[in-house]
Amino acid sequence: MKRILFIPTLIITFFISNTVIAQRTIAEATLTYNTVIYTGNNSQIDGASTIVYLKGKNTRTDMISPLGKEITIFNSKQDNAVILKEFSGQKLMITLNKENWKAKNKMYSDIRFELTNETKKIEGYNTQKAIAKMADGRTFEVYYAPDIIPANKEYDATFSDLPGLAIQYEIESGKMKFKYTLAKISYDPVPVSMFDFPTSGYRVMTYEENQKLKRGN
């Protein structure tokens, strides 16, 4: 009887070991997404890219388009961040503390993902489809790679509960919609200097001041 039970145990151990090996946890990497911006009235802006730098608890996202550049640097260990905007010759740095960061990402903090069995190969990555359900009732689709796991789940508030790396998705922001498709992953070391906050060259504004400016107060 012991010999009969031993064989299934080996089989189970084999599959568990292979599942662990198949998954790759990334703590340091550079993710490059091709980005299409839909501005409404059937018009769109091509040639944009979004680059995400991951290094431990540090994350940096550079969105570069014909309109300009926006960089977000976030340290989840220190719970502070800056947003750097460069548009039409203007350079603005918005500083955010822990409470500001939560307020900025509140829209995405309660997203729940409904996982499906639908699969799709995108840019060479094997992905599965998930339906993201936001607190306000809106939904969007995301294709993710379950075999690539970001070590820092807070690298993007939108996908903190997604069981894998987002490969392709569309998401609305104001009157615009953005479509992101992962083009490549580089595992080369990311210089720590990439996450330094600038000390000059920008007009500095707090998150609260920027929100008042947006409201016209």
Mean pLDDT of 8-18: 44
Beta bridge partners of 85: 70, 92
**AA letter at 199:** T
Q: What is the DSSP string of 45-100?
A: EEEEEEEEEEETTEEEEEEEETTEEEEEEEETTTTEEEEEEEETTEEEEEEE-HHH
How confident is the model at residue 217, as a pLDDT? 57
User: Looking at the predicted structure, is the pLDDT value of residue 10 above 70?
Assistant: no
Backbone angles phi, psi at 32, to 5 degrees: -115, 120
pLDDT above 70 covers a percentage of the chain that reads: 89
Mean pLDDT of the chain: 87
Q: Summarize pLDDT for 180-194 with one digit per residue, the tens.
A: 999 999 999 999 999
Give the angle subtended at the CA of 90 by the CAs of 84 and 92, to the nearest 5°.
Answer: 30
Q: How far is CA 110 from the centre of its chain?
A: 15
Mean pLDDT of 161-170: 96
| Residue 46 neighbours by CB under 8 Å, 6+ apart | 36
Is pLDDT larger for residue 101 or for residue 9?
A: 101
Q: What is the mean pLDDT of residues 35-39?
A: 91
Looking at residue 196, its pLDDT comes to 93
* 13 sits in which H/E element: helix 2-22
Tell if the pTM clears 0.95, that is, is over it: no
Domains of the chain: 24-207 (2.50.20.10)
Confidence category of residue 206, pLDDT binned at 50, 70, 90:
very high
pLDDT in tens, 61-108: 999 999 899 999 998 888 899 999 999 889 999 999 999 998 998 888
Residue found by looking up tokens 């997203």 in the block: 111
Q: Position 120: which residue type?
A: K
The pLDDT, as a whole number, for residue 45 is 86
CA distance 153 to 78: 15
115-156 tens-digit pLDDT = 999 999 999 999 999 999 998 889 999 999 999 999 998 899
- Whether the predicted pLDDT of 2 surpasses 80: no
